[in-house]
Structure 1
């Protein structure tokens, strides 16, 4: 059972930075999803893929994974870049 640990990124539809300080432990898919013959919806018997655990810091998420014996990989957070521009730049 493998997991990945990453920090929540700001959504493109989101103007603020709410919940971007949290870290998430998410299990990797153990089975490929297959279409259901009756409904056509994609699904699998893997229930771990539905589990998302949030932590206040990366250290807390790593400590949890080590304590529970879960193999994990940490995905680095890309640096935040600010696009500084003035309103007058719209008319140049």
Structure 2
């Protein structure tokens, strides 16, 4: 059973970063997806891939994985540089276009 530990990135549909502060542990699918013969949807026999656990810190997620014998790989988040801007700069006379 393998998993990955990461902090989710913000989606394009949101402007804030509130949903990106917690660390998430997601299990990887061990088997390939197969189409359901009745409905045609793709499905998995393994229900572990549906489990998503959230933790406040990276250390809590790693400790949980070690305690339960889960082979987890940690992905560090990439931080974007913050550009400090003022709304008034849009109307400045010497504005760089």
Aligned to 2:70: 70
How far off its partner does 1:88 sit? Answer: 5.0
The whole-number CA distance in structure 1 between the counterparts of 2:56 and 2:8 is 11
Deviations 1:68-91 (A, max 9, x none): 111110011112233556425998
Aligned length: 92
What secondary structure, in the 3-state scheme, does the structure 2 residue paired with 1:81 have? coil
Give the alignment of 1:38-53 within 5 angstroms.
38-53=38-53
CA RMSD across the alignment: 2.0
Is structure 2 residue 90 aligned with structure 1 residue 87?
yes
Deviations 1:34-77 (A, max 9, x none): 11111110001100000000000000000000011111100111
Unmatched segments (≥5 aa) in structure 1: none
Task: Give the greater-gyration-radius structure (CA).
Answer: 2
Is structure 2 residue 14 aligned with structure 1 residue 14?
yes
Unmatched segments (≥5 aa) in structure 2: none
Moved over 6 A (4+): none
The whole-number CA distance in structure 2 between the counterparts of 1:31 and 1:76 is 26
> TM-score scaled to structure 1, two decimals?
0.88
The whole-number CA distance in structure 2 between the counterparts of 1:12 and 1:88 is 27
What secondary structure, in the 3-state scheme, does the structure 1 residue paired with 2:40 have? coil
